[in-house]
Homo-oligomer: A and B are copies of this chain.
């Protein structure tokens, strides 16, 4: 708190934590707070945030509420999906991918209103502080960053609530009792951590899930859908052209209905500890499988295998907060180059928690029934070529075998 701050842009949800932070910033830093609330499809009303900001004394022109849903899906989720990104083999990076967009918009607002600082409500143990701050610094290297959770002395939930009450900040009824889960939500996913989840041997109780029905309660009949892709991105659902955010939103509805996209994970945080989380990514899970499905038909083996080898690094970069880094951009350039002909239609079956690709077709298919057939191929492939192929692939192994065996 050494430097004097004049104006700070706070990533503000209107919830208890960021309401406390808003007041705390005003008080501790004696500075003007600008609030920024993003609609990333988290499914909450945003107008209450405006009211609360007003009540806290934020100037009308300093209350920013932006609908970023299309930008989020088009410029963040879809590029990531082109890479088939999975962190630690399983996680679709729903929280990670939203942070750089929020940070970018915060910096834009800071530049617009002449703020000299930005602030966020992420704690000092998690990945989000890193994702926010690496993005801030990459985009505006000399910005001042305030991370109240690392600065103040409100070291427990109880103390936070006491502070809120002392400062006339409304504490939701259900927050008074038990501590809440630490959750995050946007159009791609909802996550929960903490409380009962802190024991990785305990099954996630069904009440923790909020975005998907329990597979056991899902319809007894499977449902078939199609997704159309153009150059690696989804463009239509069941043959009807839709925008990126509309597509993801519709897939969320389908995934919710069929109990698709639940994940129980113990993961490795960038800050060095393991944590256990519950993720629901209904539409994203369907979309990711569909994307792999269309790639199977339209992507060359060399491109596909290179993508698979680069993917873990790419996913790690996003998880660790390096979206705005040269190496993520380099990998993106390679990945995007591969997607030129990744177009066509994938058919999927949704049923009680599972989603599988059952068909794919494309005007750019590299699959050749003529070549692959077990029937007479009319000379499309000369089986004798395989003899030479094997002999030369074996040559080094034979030289080795002669020496070593």
Contact = CB atoms under 8 A, between A and B. Distances in A.
Contacts of A155: 376
A139 B402 CA distance: 9
A237 B203 CA distance: 19
Contact of A202 (B89, B305, B324, B359): B359
A272 interface: yes
Question: Which range holds the interface residue count of chain A?
Answer: 35 or more
A331 B304 contact: no
Instruction: Across the A-B interface, give the 9 residue pairs with the lowest CB-CB distance, nearest first.
Output: A388-B388, A124-B383, A272-B395, A268-B301, A385-B388, A141-B398, A302-B327, A266-B296, A141-B401
A292 interface: yes
Given A309-B313, A364-B403, A137 B397 contact: yes
Contacts of A351: 215-216, 352-353
Interface of A: 84, 88-90, 123-125, 129-130, 133-134, 137-142, 147, 149-150, 155-157, 179, 182, 193-195, 198-204, 215-216, 220, 222, 262-268, 271-276, 292-293, 296-297, 300-309, 311-313, 316, 322, 324-327, 329-331, 333-338, 341, 347, 349, 351-354, 356-361, 364-369, 371-376, 381-405
A206 B193 CA distance: 40
A155 B307 CA distance: 37
A139 B405 contact: yes
Nearest to A317: B302
- The copy count of this chain in the complex is 4
B352 A125 contact: no
A79 B268 CA distance: 24
Contact of A265 (B296, B309, B386): B296
A259 B304 CA distance: 29
Contacts of A276: 367, 372
